Every structure is written in C-alpha cells, then in structure tokens.
Amino acid sequence: MKMSEYCRPLLGKHADGLAGNAVNFVYMFALLGGVFTSLALGTPAISSGIAHILGMEQTNIVIDVIVLALWTFVPLAALVLGLQRGVAILSDWNVRGFIVLLLLIVVLGPTWFIFNHSTDSLGLMIQNYIYMGMYTDPLGGSGFPQAWTVFYMSWWAVYALPFGLFIAKISKGRTIRQMVLGGLGAGSLGCLFFYMVLPSMGIHMQLSGAVDLYTSLAEKGRGGVVVDLFSNAPGGFFIVALFTVLVLVAYITGHVSVGYSLAAACEKRIKGDEDPQKWNVSFWLILSGAVSLALYLLNPSALTPLQTVSILFGFPVCFAILALILSFFRQLKKDFPEGLPVQMKSGDRIYGVPESEEAPQNTKA
C-alpha cells in the first residue's frame, strides 16, 4: 500500500530511497489534509441535525465535540473489537440509504421542478463545460474560482490516490476499461444525482417562499441552512433524522478506510492481503480526530481556514498523481510490449483470475 511501490516503474531503485520517501510523505500529508477538511466541513450539518432532533434551537460546542469524538472512537472501537466486516456492511447499507433519501425527495417533493431544473442545469453545464473549467475571472476579480473551484479540485485530488488504490485492489480479474468506467461512472453519477435533486429542491423552496435559505445561511451558518432545507421538505423531521444518520455513518466508515490507508502507507513490510498493525491504525485515527477538532474550533463558522488547508495539502499531491500516471503507462508498456490484449467476448478474463478461482499451491511437508 506504499505509494512508492506503485511508482517503482518510474522511480526504479530510487523508490527505496529519498524519492520514494518523498512520494510517501506527500501521499500521507495530502490525505491528512483531506481528512481535516472533510471532518471540519461535515461537523456543522450533523451537529445541527442532532440539535434539531433533540428539539434544540441551534447546535453548541458540546454537540460538535461529541460528533468529532464519534468519528474518532467508533472506528477505533470497531478496530479493537474486530468489527471491520460490520463496518463494511454498514457502508453498503448507507449507500442504499442515500438512494432512498433522494428518491423520497423526488417523489414527495417538487417532482416536476426537480426534473425540469436538473435537465436545464445539465444542458447548461455541458454547453459551458470548457469555459467553466478554465474560468479564472481576471477582469471581475471576484475570487470565486480561486476560493471554490481550486478548493474543491484540491480537496478531491487528495482522495484520488487512496480511492484509486482501493478500486484497483478489489478489481482483480477486471479489464482496465471496466475498472475506469466503473470507478469514474459510478462516482460521477452519484454526485450528479445528488447535486441535481437537493439544490433543485432548495431553489424551489426559495422561489416559492417556503423558507428563506439566504437568511438562514447568514444567521445560522452552514449547518442551520441544511436543517432548514430538510425540515421544510415533506416528512421534514424524518428527512432531517435520516440525513443526519446517513452523513454521520458515511463519515465514520470513511474514517475507517482513511485510518487503514495511512497506517498501511507507513508500514515497512506489508503485503497486499495483510492488515496494518492495530496500534498504527489507532494512532492515525486519534491524530486525525484531534487535529480536525482543533481546526474546527479555530473558527467553526469560517470556511477560509478550511479552503487554505485543502489547497495547501492538495497542491503537492498533483505531482504524485503525475508520477503514478507515468508509472502506469511505463508498466503497461513493459507488460504488453505488443499492445494491450483485446477481450474477444463478454466474460473473458485477460488480466488473470480472481483469487477465489486460483488453484491452491502445493506445499511440501
């Protein structure tokens, strides 16, 4: 799981030296930055949801600390008690829960407005995709692309490495085409539907006068506006409770994988089918939780520190991603000097067989 091992086709013997250590450091440094940003951004929404469920006007510092503690100590308890398999099952059901949430909003909410607005927005995005991708606003000087486009790019760049490694690890026996289409397609569709449904519902509420989300954002902050959005939807209390639980579970299960990735990346000797040592995973879980708490308490209502941290941690990882891309093509050229094999019919395995189908090796007594 060391990033330097995946860059070995490019780095060669230097993967065991200074260059390899630099790649590993950048990977861990960037992943920590992504975790800090994610936990600090997610806390207000979950805390506000819990406060709403408990009948409180607004959240407070106690609930915030409890939420951050849950993210840290629930994965830690799962590790100590050997419940990693249960966490994986919980993660699968959590995805189903998000699908149910979106369907409920579409069916019970302003259905036709969601469809119409989503279709219109998708067409607008496709029409202006290149322009928006290169937009820097040099004349207006609003700073929007620097504060948001670059921020989100950096935030997601730090997760590209661990998520890519995870997808590759579970895709043995698949073609490169299948892995790329599955990884990019499933994730993109999930984000696409999420950003189609929820913003459309919020815009409809604002236009219809059901709730003033602008004022809510100004007075209650990021967490408050999320609660006002869902509490004014059909089945408001249930929707708020469902969303709060789903987001909390999503962050907990994600924190488990991040702790494993960080621990595996700093192990001296670990095979692909082995788990890192428990004390190592525990250290990274506690460290990320503690630093996230400090970052959040620095200024819970401000986004600027989070944006700065995300960009600062995400910039160097771009060079690691470039090294991985070059290593990938160099390894492909070495493994298939005459070109990639072609899958002649559906079901053919051309890159090996799954571990479950491999013949057992004979062992000597």
Can you tell me the distance from the alpha carbon of 100 to that of 243, in angstroms, rounded to the nearest whole number?
A: 10
Tens of pLDDT, residue by residue over 3-20, are: 888 888 888 888 888 888
Tens of pLDDT, residue by residue over 152-176, are: 888 788 878 777 776 776 677 777 7
Can you tell me the distance from the alpha carbon of 165 to that of 6, in angstroms, rounded to the nearest whole number?
A: 9
Regions in the chain scoring below 50 on pLDDT: 352-355, 363-365
Can you tell me the distance from the alpha carbon of 221 to that of 301, in angstroms, rounded to the nearest whole number?
A: 6
